[in-house]
Structure 1
Amino acid sequence: MAAELRLLLLLVCWTALASSRCEFPAIFNFGDSNSDTGGLSASFGEAVPPNGESFFHGPAGRFCDGRLVIDFIAQHSGLPYLNAYLDSVGSNFSHGANFATAGSTILRQNTTLFQSGFSPFSLDVQSWQFNQFKTRGGVAYGKGGVYRELLPKQQVFSKALYTFDIGQNDLTSGLFRNLSIDEVKAYIPDALAQFSDVVKGIYDQGGRSFWIHNTGPFGCLAYVLERLPVLASQIDQAGCATPFNELAQFFNEKLNQTVVRLRKHFPHAVFTYVDVYSVKYELISQAKKNGFGNPLRACCGHGGKYNYNMNLGCGGKKKVAGRQVLVGSSCADPWRYVNWDGVHYTQAGNKFVFDHIVDGKFSDPPRPLRLACHKHI
């Protein structure tokens, strides 16, 4: 009862603050493929067709048929979609920048992308890129001319929204190296200490509003289910691998505790912890109710139970009778699919997630995105 009363009081307070909607002049995003708008593509080769087909009508740096949650966040904030920091062609950073890259982790992997599939742009590297962007961008902005159209004013950094969606690859990278779940759990404190250090660095650079996503139920994703088979008794009613989802929940519990400590250390900042795990699991476990088909099967892929082949993914081609033939093709109705390519969500799935988190129902505290600059009351 006390918890319900607290929630009611908070909602009354948020209603009172409705006229004080946050006007974020920019968003700076850090993360992995769940929010990468072109970083990995600019660095290692584009996300090939049919990626981007549902909205951009062609590849747009996203491993998705269309928009990501970060795109909907930007749109809701009245800002253009974020350009990737690593993409120099046609980019405008006056409204923020995206430092996320597909395959990124919090902890460095100390391997190449080609060896492990994980990005060299770990969270600490992304934070160094942000520092350089702020420092060198300020110098360039001072030169005037076109720089004042393409780069943010320095006062923007203290008023911007800082978004994070990272951690899943820290868990899967260990499992893919044949570490046990307990061994993966053992390095989570190091990962979250690194996360805290990055947040502190951004705070020292003026950041005050932080919107932090937890990690999703990766035990429901084809690339995990195919590569890390579990016992039948470890598969839940939604078809997901329980041990891996429990690992994600363990990480999320520790992440939430980390955010609580950050609030105490930085009382002048606003931290919103967003439970995307619960939203994504609801989307998957109640797919039919929510207007989707089989939530575990990829829209774009090739072969197998989940239409997923780790050696021949979405957009993949192979030689048949001496000709290159597309075998990793898209489905005809991506709007009915939760999963795009066995790893990532469709635009429809991402829109579902955004629609459920934007009003604060899945946040701690229950703070809507439009009020993410206001302190917890």
Structure 2
Amino acid sequence: METYSLLHLLIILYSYTMVFNFNHGFAAKSCEFPAVFNFGDSNSDTGGLAAAFFPPNSPYGETFFHTPAGRYCDGRLIIDFIAGSLGLEYLSPYLESVGSNFTYGADFATAASTITPQARGLTQGGFSPFYLQVQYSQFQQLKSRSQKFRNLGNIYAEVLPKNEVISQALYTFGQNDLGAGFFGNLSIEEVNATIPDIINQFSIDFKSVYDEGARSFWIHNTGPIGCLPYVLANFSVKPSEYDSAGCAIPYNTVAEYFNQKLKDLVIQLRKELTSATIIYVDVYSVKYNLISQASKYGFEQPHVACCGYGLNKYNYNGTAVCGGTININGTQILVGACENPSVRVNWDGVHYTEAANKWIFDKIINGNFSDPPVPLRMACNQFA
């Protein structure tokens, strides 16, 4: 048997690494993303819906910003931690007309946004009009108009992205269509039936962003919605349909089906868009691990909303939402937060606390839950 010196083995390993990186478009060294452009829903909305319609009230933002900051959380979101880890400022919402700086990218996400357009708008108790195709159009406008106004100099050159940033930036994606289906009174079977169309529309919009010059993508799958207080409190589930973690199996099964179709699409997109680096991030597994083993990680009551007023064990009531007011025996009472959000997983029945977001971010940044297993810092495209 042929033997190798340690140096020889290291050279072979390095060569395989270089070949792997080249064939898959990954950087062979740490990336320097100059900007992040984010598309999605409330899980990554840094103030878009607040700017367009109405801002969340206190106690939203109390943990980090100490005031409502347009985020549906007590503090920072995963997208905030992503930007911070790259040495960038927190993303300005594209819809924010005052004080925005798009030098480091932009956030097109708005709470209640979906991939596919919804029949019910916000005023009908429905969803955001800024669905993914609209978010893409906003990105397209920002790209084209930025160069026109940068040429004017002055403040425009200081707050708008340079043209080369488009190909060098990181592009992140999330989605909310399953929740839209369930709150549209669709059955589990009906929601399942919509998934192929959702995935197809995502593919169309994704390719549109690629055609504008985007090359480095970081795509989060959907989380375990069957573990969220708003689902557990609103939808009937048979006792036999709860898993050992207390989550509703039928709803998580829908999320898992969606995630498999999304992963299949990512694999197909890699074949079609050979100049792109596309990372699929399994946040479902990370979130489920946190919820199912909350006490192990220093958290408690993972199925109970920290901020809410619900006459049920989940502390969630859709008519008494976080930051709103309710009438108790003739007295208006603010729906406030729990005493210590830092040990809670769920903030308002739908969204995670800053502490949970930070925990999730710490798990995904190193690539252990990514396909391929590439750390965030190595996820840039070497051809950009």
Bin of the TM-score, shorter chain as denominator length: over 0.9
1:152 corresponds to:
161
Kept after mapping to 1: 8 A contact 2:178/2:191: yes
Kept after mapping to 2: 8 A contact 1:36/1:100: yes
SS in 1 for 2:297: coil
Query: In structure 2, what residue type is equivalent to 1:86?
Result: L
SS in 2 for 1:366: coil
Matched, 1:250 2:243: no
2:55 corresponds to:
46
> Cα deviation per residue 1:187-243 (whole Å; 9 max; x = unaligned)?
211111111111111111110000000000000001111111210110111111000
Q: 2:243 aligns with which of 236, 240, 251?
A: 236
Matched, 1:76 2:76: no
Q: 1:113 aligns with which of 106, 111, 122?
A: 122
Query: How far off is 1:175 after superposition?
Result: 2.0
Q: Give, in whole Å, the separation in 2 of the partners of 1:179 and 1:199.
A: 26
Q: 1:63 aligns with which of 65, 72, 94?
A: 72
SS in 2 for 1:29: strand
1:125 corresponds to:
134
Q: Give, in whole Å, the separation in 1 of the partners of 2:27 and 2:275.
A: 21
Distance of aligned partners of 1:322 and 1:229 in 2 relative to their CA distance in 1, 3 Å threshold:
closer
Calculate percent identity across the aligned residue pairs. 58
Kept after mapping to 1: 8 A contact 2:57/2:323: yes
2:111 corresponds to:
102
Kept after mapping to 1: 8 A contact 2:283/2:360: yes
Q: 2:370 aligns with which of 333, 347, 363?
A: 363
Q: Give, in whole Å, the separation in 1 of the partners of 2:145 and 2:34.
A: 19
Query: How far off is 1:136 after superposition?
Result: 1.3
1:284 corresponds to:
291
Specify every segment of 5 or more residues in structure 2 that has no aligned partner in the other structure, as ranges.
1-12
Query: In structure 2, what residue type is equivalent to 1:254?
Result: K
2:351 corresponds to:
344
Query: How far off is 1:112 after superposition?
Result: 1.1
Query: How far off is 1:322 after superposition?
Result: 6.3
SS in 2 for 1:289: helix
Query: In structure 2, what residue type is equivalent to 1:26?
Result: A
Q: Give, in whole Å, the separation in 2 of the partners of 1:325 and 1:285.
A: 33
Q: Give, in whole Å, the separation in 2 of the partners of 1:278 and 1:83.
A: 29
Q: Give, in whole Å, the separation in 1 of the partners of 2:298 and 2:313.
A: 21
2:315 corresponds to:
307
For the pair shown, the structure with the greater C-alpha radius of gyration is: 2
> Cα deviation per residue 1:287-328 (whole Å; 9 max; x = unaligned)?
0001101100011111221111110111111345765421x1
Q: Give, in whole Å, the separation in 2 of the partners of 1:356 and 1:321.
A: 45
Q: Give, in whole Å, the separation in 1 of the partners of 2:326 and 2:120.
A: 27
Kept after mapping to 1: 8 A contact 2:282/2:370: yes
> Cα deviation per residue 1:32-67 (whole Å; 9 max; x = unaligned)?
011000011111111110000000000000000000
2:325 corresponds to:
317
1:203 corresponds to:
210
Q: Give, in whole Å, the separation in 1 of the partners of 2:331 and 2:248.
A: 39
> Cα deviation per residue 1:153-208 (whole Å; 9 max; x = unaligned)?
11100000000011xx3112222233222221222111111111111111111100
Kept after mapping to 1: 8 A contact 2:27/2:382: no
SS in 2 for 1:20: coil
Distance of aligned partners of 1:321 and 1:305 in 2 relative to their CA distance in 1, 3 Å threshold:
closer
Q: Give, in whole Å, the separation in 2 of the partners of 1:335 and 1:160.
A: 32
Q: 1:298 aligns with which of 305, 310, 313?
A: 305
Query: In structure 2, what residue type is equivalent to 1:212?
Result: I
Matched, 1:164 2:176: no
1:372 corresponds to:
379
Query: How far off is 1:106 after superposition?
Result: 0.5
> Cα deviation per residue 1:99-152 (whole Å; 9 max; x = unaligned)?
000111111002211213311111111111111111112211111110011100
Kept after mapping to 2: 8 A contact 1:209/1:372: yes
Query: How far off is 1:77 after superposition?
Result: 0.7
Kept after mapping to 2: 8 A contact 1:269/1:375: no
Q: Give, in whole Å, the separation in 2 of the partners of 1:96 and 1:65.
A: 23
Matched, 1:217 2:224: yes
Q: How does 1:27-42 map to 2 (within 5 A)?
A: 27-42=36-51
The TM-score, its normalising length taken from structure 1, stands at 0.93
Matched, 1:13 2:22: no
Alignment root-mean-square deviation, CA: 2.0
Distance of aligned partners of 1:113 and 1:78 in 2 relative to their CA distance in 1, 3 Å threshold:
same
Matched, 1:178 2:185: yes
Kept after mapping to 1: 8 A contact 2:27/2:380: no
SS in 2 for 1:261: helix
The TM-score, its normalising length taken from structure 2, stands at 0.91
Matched, 1:263 2:257: no
Query: In structure 1, what residue type is equivalent to 2:217?
Result: F
